Amino acid sequence: MSTYLVFGATGNVGRRVAERLAWSGAAVRAMSRNPEAAKLPQGVEVITPDLDAPGALDDVDAAFLMWPFHSAEPARPIVGALKRRVRRVVFMTGGGALPGVAPEEQPNPVARWHATVERLIEQSGMEWTVLSPSTFMANTLWWSAQIRAGDYVRGAFGSLATTPIHEDDIAAVAVHALTEPGHEGHRYTLTGPEVLTQAEQVRLIGEAVGRPLHWQELTLEQERARLLADPDFPGDFVDELLDGYTKMAAAPRPEVTSTVPDITGAPATTLSAWAAEHADDFSGGRR
Ligand SMILES: NC(=O)c1ccc[n+]([C@@H]2O[C@H](COP(=O)([O-])OP(=O)(O)OC[C@H]3O[C@@H](n4cnc5c(N)ncnc54)[C@H](OP(=O)(O)O)[C@@H]3O)[C@@H](O)[C@H]2O)c1
């Protein structure tokens, strides 16, 4: 039986990919730096992320790859190891990497790393599919401490519109691309079902947790100071994040794509449904 290899298998998307494959009865080899703590379904083989380890790529037919690294340095060894043994790769890109634009011309370092991986995969001879998702609904968990503490989410760019996507919808598309023919050579732009401003997202989370929640707009400087005081946001990431938001706010309003329903046959999940699933994360279990 062919085996599916899943990178980042404890992450937002990789976990869902590993679970969906395992629940379908497929053989899954998942990677985590801490296999004992991975908490993946029974039957999933969990290994450390070392493709040169004996047996790591045995029987692997297709791999789900995402990029957890803060450079493109591991791209050549990883793609090189995969292309020697694996027929198909599904890569989740990120950083707003622009399609058809050379890595060196991408708008930011994160996009450059992802575009480098995309290019290596496209030139590898493997069957490839690239998934380019919009912002994850899970990003709203960044607001969870503020929501647990009160009724306001403070931040800049409340009117910034995005098309947030449920991580499980990305995983569902990934599993189709890993297991079925017909997705080779495609770069899919994946979005959620709605265009929502950040302030609207906060209101919808409020409905899910059962109390009105509001956005409170901060100036860019106030937001920068707030993020720098938060240990979850390293200093260099704060500027990158705010720069990314500034560019997104200046860009045309994003559009919803039909790729998730077209491929999965089911409508993309709404933020309301995602928030209902995660209501305890915002209420600390006190509702
Ligand atoms: N958030 C968004 O809105 C968004 C939108 C589009 C694209 N993306 C892209 O999505 C990717 C992040 O995906 P995600 O949110 O699913 O991941 P995540 O939740 O951030 O999890 C990271 C995963 O990578 C593994 N990992 C971390 N460091 C590693 C290392 N040095 N070597 C090997 N494995 C490592 C972790 O596993 P262990 O800790 O178990 O080892 C974990 O499974 C990024 O490429 C990002 O650019 C994000």
How does pLDDT run across 68-109, given as a tens digit for each residue?
Answer: 999 999 999 999 999 999 999 999 999 899 999 999 999 888
Query: Is 35 within 8 Å of 49 (Cβ atoms)?
Result: no
What is the reported pLDDT for 285? 56
Ligand 1 pocket, mutate which of 10, 135, 160, 190 (most atoms under 8 A from CB): 10
Which domains, and CATH codes, for the chain? 3-136+166-190 (3.40.50.720), 139-161+194-253+267-283 (3.90.25.10)
Find out whether the beta carbon of 133 lies less than 6 Å from any atom of ligand 1.
yes
Q: What is the 131 CA–ligand 1 centroid distance (Å)? A: 14
Q: What is the 215 CA–ligand 1 centroid distance (Å)? A: 28
Find out whether the beta carbon of 24 lies less than 6 Å from any atom of ligand 1.
no
SS3 at position 63: strand
Q: What is the DSSP letter of 194?
A: -
Query: Is 170 within 8 Å of 247 (Cβ atoms)?
Result: no
What is the rounded (10 degree) CA torsion for 139, 272, 12, 21? -160
Asked whether residue 234 carries a pLDDT value surpassing 70, the answer given is: yes
| pLDDT (tens digit per residue) in 128-176 | 999 999 999 999 999 999 999 999 999 999 999 999 999 999 999 999 9
Find out whether the beta carbon of 208 lies less than 6 Å from any atom of ligand 1.
no
- Let me know the angle formed at the C-alpha of 221 by 217 and 222, rounded to the nearest 5 degrees: 50
| pLDDT (tens digit per residue) in 26-45 | 999 999 999 999 999 999 99
Find out whether the beta carbon of 192 lies less than 6 Å from any atom of ligand 1.
no
Sequence-separated contacts (24+) of 68-72 with Cβ below 8 Å: 68/7, 68/8, 68/11, 69/113, 70/113, 71/113, 72/103, 72/112, 72/113, 72/116, 72/117
Percent above pLDDT 90 for the chain: 90
Ligand 1 pocket, mutate which of 17, 28, 32, 190 (most atoms under 8 A from CB): 32
Element holding 43 (H helix, E strand): none
Q: Whose CA is nearest to atom 29 of ligand 1?
A: 68
Q: Whose CA is nearest to atom 8 of ligand 1?
A: 94
Find out whether the beta carbon of 10 lies less than 6 Å from any atom of ligand 1.
yes
Look up the pTM and report it: 0.97
| pLDDT (tens digit per residue) in 248-257 | 899 999 999 9
Average pLDDT of the chain is: 95
H helices of the chain, where? 14-23, 75-85, 109-122, 144-149, 167-179, 198-209, 220-228, 235-250, 259-264, 271-277, 279-283
Percent above pLDDT 70 for the chain: 99
Within 10 Å of residue 50's Cβ, how many Cβ atoms? 11
Alpha carbon distance 210, 269 (integer Å): 20
